[in-house]
Structure 1
Amino acid sequence: MTAWEVFIPACFALNCAPGPNNMLAFSNGARLGAVRGLLGGMGRMPAFAFLIAITVAGLGAVLAASATAFLVIKLVGAVYLVYVGIQILIKARALAEMQALDASIAALMRRDFSIAITNPKAIAIFTAFFPQFIVEGGPIWPQLTAMGLAFLVMEVVAVCLYVAGGALLGRFIASSRVFVQLNRAVGAALIFAGGSMALARH
């Protein structure tokens, strides 16, 4: 079995994990529909591309090894997740009543980007996960680059799955009360994720 045969399913499992970005994609799909949910979910792609690039360049290992740098990134990410979660909780009803045309795609993408770029786990995953599948004796950078591109492709698939799931749920929900509760659940989950991130050890 080659490294790719192991890498693809293992990586896709990471892509599909119910993290903050995927929860947001599900919520946006349910509230705003598939198209806007999907476009909003693309905001994470440049963030992950940048993090993969610094991993390939070797800077990811430096950041992961630096306790101070990792702590700063972790705390910034944790604070932002808690902030977004609180905003969603406060505006749960207004968001539930928001029409698709009222949602700015740029704003949706910015939020998705910000959550992804401030997530230190992404750096740790790229730095620790990718090297496990490098074929010994082969050129390292091309392999890491190929893995990074494969990750991004599978991330698009994961976004589609979460948005589609949310949009499908939204089609069968007519009551805004359910969307209010969904928004509150997502907000609480983001706050919990931020708190867990802040308290987690390196």
Structure 2
Amino acid sequence: MIDLLVFIPACFALNLAFGPNNLLSLTHGAERGVPFALAAAMARLAAFVPMIAASALGLGVLMSTSALLFGVVKVAGALYLLWLGVKLLRTRPTVDARGQGHVPASLRQAARREGLAAVSNPKAILIFAAFFPQFVDTQAYWTSYATLGALFLGLEACAITIYALAGRFAARFAARRMHWFQRASGGGMVLFGLLLLASRQPGQA
């Protein structure tokens, strides 16, 4: 039986942890509002579904034990975050068709960023592989894994909403300086990319 009184708060703490995807939700919320940020983040949730399934099949354990596999995914993910960060850092004030400053990302672009940021971090599937098994009912393995996965996705949607709301609130104080908000987001992406590049495989000294 799943201990929901322990799983839910522990899981929500993981959902709320500040990382590349939550930084994107903060930025998208500031630029285009909460509904837009939620719509873009559907790509993140869609990416997490096969990652949870892969963890259930044991691929998370394989990644935690294979230095080569972990290294390949880590470098690819870090390079993507660095590329995205540099791109955002180079943001300049532009003018849209209405004569207003800074043209934000389209929904397609925002969704692509969310999805790629989700799959580019090898630690995501390792979280599923290390965290979920502590609560899985071995007598009903697949059912309990699916339940945990559904709860995780629901709590992730709550975290997305919180970050998007925070971004929208912050935007009210910087409505004419959104390109600086983008640059701050880019700096954060570069930092996350460097941290990922420097990260060690779990279990390694």
Q: Same fold (TM over 0.5)?
A: yes
167-176 or 41-50, which deviates more: 167-176
Tell me which residue corresponds to 2:68. Answer: 68
- Measured in 1, the distance between the counterparts of 2:94 and 2:28 equals 13
Q: Which residue in 2 is equivalent to 1:140? A: 141
Matches within 5 A, 1:86-165: 86-94=86-94, 97-99=101-103, 103-135=105-137, 138-165=139-166
1:35 — aligned with what? 35
- Please state which structure has a larger fraction of its residues in helix: 1
- Which residue in 2 is equivalent to 1:186? 185
Amino acid at match of 2:101: E
Indicate conservation of the 8 Å contact 1:30/1:167, yes or no: yes
Runs of 5+ consecutive residues of structure 1 not aligned to the other structure: none
> What is the RMSD computed on CA atoms of the aligned residues?
2.0
Number of corresponding residues:
197
Quote the Cα distance in structure 1 between the aligned partners of 2:163 and 2:188: 16
- Look up the match of 1:175: 176
Which stretch shifts more, 30-39 or 185-194?
A: 30-39
Q: Give the secondary structure class of the aligned counterpart of 1:42.
A: helix
* Structure 2 unaligned spans of 5+: none
Q: Contact between 2:27 and 2:185, CA under 8 Å: does it hold in 1?
A: yes
Q: Does structure 1 conserve the Cα–Cα contact (< 8 Å) formed by 2:29 and 2:37?
A: yes
Pick which of 67-76 and 182-191 moved more. 182-191
The verdict on how the C-alpha distance between 1:166 and 1:83 changes in structure 2, with shifts beyond 3 A counting, is: same
1: CA distance, partners of 2:176 / 2:31: 11
* Aligned residue identity for 1:115: A
1:43–1:108 CA contact under 8 A, matched in 2: no
Cα distance, 1:92 vs structure 2 = 4.8
Residue type at the aligned position of 1:199: A
CA offsets, 1:13-52, max 9 Å, x none? 1001111000111011111222222211222011111100
CA distance in 2, matches of 1:69, 1:27: 31
Is this contact kept in 1: 2:25–2:41, CA < 8 A? yes
Superposed CA offset, 1:49-77 (max 9, x none): 11001111222211222111111011100
